[in-house]
Chain A
């Protein structure tokens, strides 16, 4: 099994097409799986939006923009990313502070920076910049990292995380923190320190609870007992779980999900789109979709493992794992095992900002992947 898949991974750079793709800094396997995922996503979106061609078209436009961004980022040499990392990070922190001071309020949170031309969400950019910064910092340090460098790494994670959590945007701060911590994990922190900090974190949960907003607390409480507030915050989870459960093994069929088509699933084109998918395609469909995601994640980790240098490895590894966190938090939330935090189903949920960030991340992965080969040949 492993040998065939390895062969499959390795055998793709034969022939004229693959040479051309390599020239374009495109990883064909990653590209193919991303395209497949997006196509599936458009199909679900069409159903979730009550057959709104208009909505699907807008999503296609966003996907195209995201693809363009990915393609452009893929052309940036890994070394350039390395050089830009600290500057981007500093810039990002400044923007985050600006948002808190002078940002636009949308949906009760201060996330947006109005640049008059476009409204811009700096927290989104930090999903990429934070792991870049940590990779930049750790790849130069002696291996395995000393306690002092771990401490500095921790600060580099905590500062943007706290700034974003303050907006408040729990979902994004979680993803940013995860991205940073994955760099530290791949950077060779000892298992002892790793488990030690995990337990410390768990111990700190009550402290964290004190700092949470009431609505965030409510979401967590609702998770444990959705029926406590069936028409309020529990409604989302209850209806979503009913949708998934009633999908059964094979689902109700595309466009036939009653929970989806009759508005019972809230936010069904965005955060809860997985519930629509699970209702209409059942556990069989869910298995196929999760397998596709798993394939993309493992391909990302494979690229990371074969990266040219430490910076590329750490960044690629972190980006792949962040993608996984996206997926896990979203599906976990929709299926009622995690609290409702605003994390979209990556590359499927309707919406622009996260899509562009994600695809920029995949652009970096492709840059890292193709860089290695160009140099090694």
Chain B
């Protein structure tokens, strides 16, 4: 270093230092510029990206599920409501000693091991300020006990949530159906957007049929959350629109009368206002407690329902297909006189059995009365339910013309009632047999069909609709459970026009012929339901029926005692009243009810109560158009 001697060591050092200080300062500035470059990169170049990320951090969209619409009967009695149910929930961050709390709580209310296990699992995955459910559906006593001990358990809450409740339980189970948790299958058919936040959906019955009315429209809110996910404030809110309320045509009091009338029997009772199709009673017994399904039914309970005596989950009114038996006779009689195959006053002689003309096997088609009814005309044939009369009648008509006429009354096709899954029954014809069985129609089968047996099948709903068509002298209505829809959003009522087609008779007088014969069933001296008619204050027209569960072989004695109860005949009754101006048509089908005459009082009681409630002495029947 030659320069060193020119400078004093001190000043040389100072100048080296100064140079290095400047270098250091420059390096500092350069590195700070680097930092600024980095910041500019984040804050200017990638600003949009990070602004979005920060918005996504703090904004959450939350769905607000709508309140499900309520269901009332025609008089405003609530049938399906949203009831608060109480749940025991824990906020972990407020609990000092979780184990002690759990132990203490299980002394007060019963907490199962599975519930504890589920709780512990939730505890791991939830944030500490989020409430975790420990017990659902506390009963009133449990709520009271918990409330009294609340001070001992900080972090414990009893929360109310709305859940579907059916106060009438079994009585309305087959009409209303029930709601249940949305499952994978439901998801494939619903508008998922509108069901965000909704947990339950109509699974069966009206709850399913009118799901779109009942559900409502989901609301949304934008909330600001912090890093832990806690909601700090609501930024924007679109309130949910509650579902529409339904008012049914059903009268719960009549429903109960009908249900109790069936007594021990499993069966169905359908009552319809003949002029507008309003379904006033819809009973399928046994029912089940639909409330069990709302919170998820246990396997054990479900099995019990599924395989229980008479299958309580089976909606027999809608899905049950029965041979109509003798209840079919008034319709066949009407077909006979309308098609001029039989005179109104024409008689036959019943000797207890019938031989098909030209049948060389000489098979005897038996009457239910072994000794026969003697000379029988139309009125007597209905009154006494003479089979031989109808063998002759259907023989003369032939199956196809019988089919064509009776199809007008809705046999063999869906009634169109506002429930899903309805069965169509079966009104046989030669075409049908060829199509389905690939076989020719035998004349003997016509005779069997003529007394409502054999291939012939009808659901209780179909029977009721056909009876209503009789009662209204040809108004073929579509039965409706729903009366009106109340839209809470604008507080308006929507009603649906009843839909009907008219059955035109060749002679209007024929209605009276059938009416008279059916009145005789209840009020005539030989009427099969004459026991019911005694002391009645109004006139009811009706027809009993007994449908064989299985065929009784030729000449075999039929002994009720020895036939197992489940194999006993079905008892049926169709009727309407008052006969002069019918206000209600009823069909009763009792599984293994043995005889239709036992069912007539149910129809009578329902009609009687209906008249007391709605026609109040004067016969002001609301005849739509």
Contacts and interface: CB of A to CB of B under 8 A. Distances in A.
Interface of A: 142-144, 182, 185-186, 188, 239, 241-249, 258-259, 262-264, 278, 282-283, 286-287, 290, 293-294, 297-298, 301-302, 304-305, 310, 313-314, 317, 321, 324, 327-328, 331-332, 335-337
Contact of A331 (B35, B50, B226): B35
A290 B228 contact: no
A258 B57 contact: yes
The 10 closest A-B pairs by CB, nearest first: A245-B50, A246-B54, A263-B227, A262-B226, A245-B42, A283-B43, A246-B50, A264-B227, A246-B51, A305-B21
Contact of A246 (B9, B24, B29, B53): B53
Contacts, number: 137
Interface in B138-181: none
19 contacts: A142-B9, A239-B57, A239-B227, A246-B51, A248-B43, A248-B51, A262-B58, A263-B226, A264-B54, A264-B58, A282-B43, A283-B40, A293-B32, A301-B24, A313-B17, A321-B24, A328-B32, A335-B38, A337-B38
B120 interface: no
Given A143-B12, A245-B50, A185 B24 contact: yes
Interface string B515-534: 00000000000000000000
A332 B57 contact: no
B35 A249 contact: no
B49 interface: yes
B24 A259 contact: no
B552 to A, nearest CB: 77
Interface in B21-45: 21, 24-25, 28-29, 31-32, 35-36, 38-40, 42-44
Interface string B109-150: 000000000000000000000000000000000000000000
B224 interface: yes
B187 interface: no
Given A248-B44, A294-B32, A304 B21 contact: yes
Given A248-B47, A283-B40, A335-B39, A262 B21 contact: no
Contacts of B227: 239, 262-264
A241 B39 CA distance: 9
Nearest to B29: A294
A249 B13 CA distance: 45
Nearest to B38: A335
Contacts of B47: 245-246, 248-249
Nearest to B51: A246
B16 interface: yes
A291 to B, nearest CB: 9
A242 B54 contact: yes
A310 B39 CA distance: 38
B181 to A, nearest CB: 31
B46 A245 contact: yes
Given A282-B43, A328-B31, A186 B20 contact: yes
Contacts of B20: 185-186, 188, 317
Given A294-B32, A331-B35, A335-B39, A258 B58 contact: yes
Q: DSSP class of A's interface residues: helix, strand, loop or mixed? A: helix
Interface of B: 9-10, 12-14, 16-18, 20-21, 24-25, 28-29, 31-32, 35-36, 38-40, 42-44, 46-47, 49-51, 53-55, 57-58, 224-228, 232
B15 to A, nearest CB: 10
B39 A283 contact: yes
A305 B18 contact: yes
B36 A262 contact: no
Contacts of A182: 24
B42 A297 contact: no
B30 to A, nearest CB: 11
Given A188-B16, A335-B42, A258 B54 contact: yes
A143 B36 contact: no
A244 B45 CA distance: 12
Contact of B57 (A144, A264, A287, A324): A264
Given A246-B54, A248-B47, A263-B227, A301 B21 contact: yes
Contacts of A331: 35
Contacts of B38: 332, 335-337
Given A186-B21, A301-B21, A287 B36 contact: yes
A78 to B, nearest CB: 15
Contacts of B24: 182, 185-186, 301, 317, 321
A145 to B, nearest CB: 11
Q: Which interface residue of A259, A262, A298 has the most chain B CB atoms within 10 A? A: A262
Contacts of A314: 17
Contacts of A278: 39, 43
A241 B232 contact: no
Contacts of B14: 313
A283 B43 CA distance: 7
Given A245-B42, A286-B36, 12 more contacts: A244-B43, A244-B50, A246-B51, A258-B224, A298-B25, A298-B28, A301-B21, A304-B17, A305-B18, A313-B17, A328-B31, A335-B39
Contact of B13 (A248, A294, A310, A337): A310
A184 to B, nearest CB: 11
Contacts of A246: 47, 50-51, 53-55
B43 A242 contact: no
A82 B20 CA distance: 22
Given A185-B24, A304-B21, A245 B51 contact: yes
B39 A244 contact: yes
Contacts of A244: 39, 42-43, 50
Contact of A249 (B29, B43, B57): B43
Nearest to A314: B17
Contacts of B54: 242-243, 245-246, 258-259, 264
